[in-house]
Amino acid sequence: MTVPLSPPSQAAALRRVRDDLAGRGLVDGLPAAFLAGVTRFARPPQAELDALAAAARGLADRLAAGQAGDEDVPLLTRVLFFAGHADVLAAAGVPTPAYDVLGSYRDNLDRPVGPRLPERPTAGGRRWRVLGRDVGFPIGVPACVLNGGEDWVAHFARNGYSVLTYKTVRSRAHQPNQQPNWVFAQRQAQSLPPGAAAEVIADPWDWVAPGSPAVSTVNSFGVPSLTPEEWMADLERSLAVLGDDQLLLVSVMGEDADGEGAGALVEDFTRTARMAEEAGAPVVELNLSCPNTLDRSASGVKPPLCLDADATVAVVERVRRALDDRTGLVAKLSWLDEERLAALVPRLAPLVDGVAGINTLQSRVRRSDGWATFPGRELAGLSGAAIRESALDFTRRLVTLREAAGRRFDVLAMGGVTDPASFEALFALGADAVQSASGAFANPYLARDCIAALGETLPRALEPAR
């Protein structure tokens, strides 16, 4: 097993961060830069703002005097992240979230933030079979902005993930929703009951320390996409950075842009899937599950497509016929209740190589002052620890339905995986691979930790070649 050692000691890392900040003349300006970040999208109540300002000033004083100690690392991480200097932490190997939530979708496209391991952690030569390929330790990052381009794919591939899903792309460019797009949901540290409609309070300045297994987030990106010319070229480069024991699926979504009806939606899904195949995608994942798509005809946000079984099957059937037989096909679903999932899975089973789920839970999200966290969009996607029970419930039922269908498809499970225990819980239910978005965002060492804990014992590995 190759699991790189932990990064340098906390004291050495802290010294490096301090020297780097001092060398770049950033220490004095830290409190102001931090407050600019904290108030970027909304203003905390005055007492909270004063407390944050005082804490940042105290930290800057201790850094200037060479007196910052280990106990300052959590605050330092938060201050540097919101001050836009998370790269200083990452360079010293200090855990930091991987995505700059203050920057735009475009700003982030080629800029994964979190630390990168010097060497890819692996479970030695052990391999697992996923979607017809032999892959390394079967942890992955699902379709999301964390796999939005070549630099991200390379980043997570290096940090130990073997089953990556390229972010959902479309048949034409699509702008992201207005910022903010991604916010910590620090008050949602516990899992909600399966499928519960959540009312979430989340402020843009909320924070959860990197590595906390209790991390939850809310997001409202609106499934942005580059032009097909851009993403197809990027996809080819992304595929080229992977090892032969790493798999990149490509998530696609269709739309009925001109309101022509169900047929147009099916055709657009098909067109986009074929573009992905043309660019080299070994497996196409159909995003039938997004809770963030703006609805121009009504006010607000559309429900996920997979709630409509007939529309879902029409898309999957048509895409299956249009793709080459060698291209794998995965249907990504959101959490569905018993009746809906039981009705859908037998219809999907003959058509797909895999079913992925769950997506984020569509939730009503407000700031603590009562205003919408995401202006103009009351509904957004909740993920991370808060949806763990939903993911377990969905995966358990999906695996049972797979057995009943008597037809083998792989299960890509996700939802609330933030540490080795939550990874193992989904795998133990019968998932073939387990992916993490919120956990991978908040803990740059998640895959390494899972491989260190489970690399030698995780069941269902292939026999080594003799």
Residues 6 or more apart from 102 whose CB is under 8 A from it? 37, 40, 82, 84
Q: Decide if residue 306 touches ligand FMN (CB under 6 A).
A: no
Q: Is 20 exposed, middle or buried (0-12, 13-18, 19+ CB in 10 A)?
A: middle
- Residue 77 or 360: which CB sits closer to ligand FMN? 360
Q: How far apart are CA 201 and CA 371, in angstroms?
A: 10
Q: Residue 21 Cβ, how far from ligand FMN at the closest point, in Å?
A: 29
Q: How far is the CB of 69 from ligand FMN (least distance, A)?
A: 33
- Binding positions for ligand FMN, 5-24, rule CB under 6 A: none
Q: Based on CB atoms, which residue is closest to ligand FMN, 96 or 287?
A: 287
Find the binding residues for ligand FMN in span 216-275 (CB under 6 A).
217, 219, 221, 223, 251
109, 79, 120: which is closest to 96 by C-alpha? 79
**Which of residues 194, 210, 439, 455 is near ligand FMN by CB under 6 A?**
439
* Cis preceding linkage at 7, omega within 30: no
Nearer to ligand FMN, 96 or 219 (CB): 219
Q: How many CB atoms lie within 10 A of CB 126?
A: 20
Rounded least distance, CB 147 to ligand FMN, Å = 9
DSSP tag of 179: S
CB-nearer residue toward ligand FMN: 168 or 362: 168
Q: Looking at 89-97, 239-247, 318-326, 382-390, which segment touches ligand FMN (CB under 6 A)?
A: 382-390
Residue 138 contacts ligand FMN per CB under 6 A: no
Catalogue the long-range contacts made by 48-52 (C-beta closer than 8 Å, 24 or more residues apart).
Answer: 52/205
Report the residue from 360, 363, 390, 395 that binds ligand FMN according to the rule CB under 6 A. 360
The CB-of-208 to ligand FMN minimum distance in angstroms stands at: 13
* Shortest reach from residue 294's CB to ligand FMN, in Å: 14
**188 binds ligand FMN per the rule CB under 6 A:** no
Rule CB under 6 A: choose which of 108, 362, 438, 443 binds ligand FMN: 438
CA distance 374 to 393: 29
**Interacting stretch for ligand FMN, rule CB under 6 A, among 17-25, 105-113, 215-223, 231-239?**
215-223
Which token pair is 327? 């291209």
DSSP state of 299: S
Q: What angle do CA 357, 251, 450 make, to 5 degrees?
A: 55
The amino acid occupying position 464 is P
Classify residue 151 by burial, with Cβ atoms within 10 Å: 0-12, 13-18, 19+: middle
Binding site for ligand FMN (CB under 6 A): 142-145, 167-168, 182, 217, 219, 221, 223, 251, 287, 289-290, 332, 359-360, 383-384, 387, 414-417, 436-439
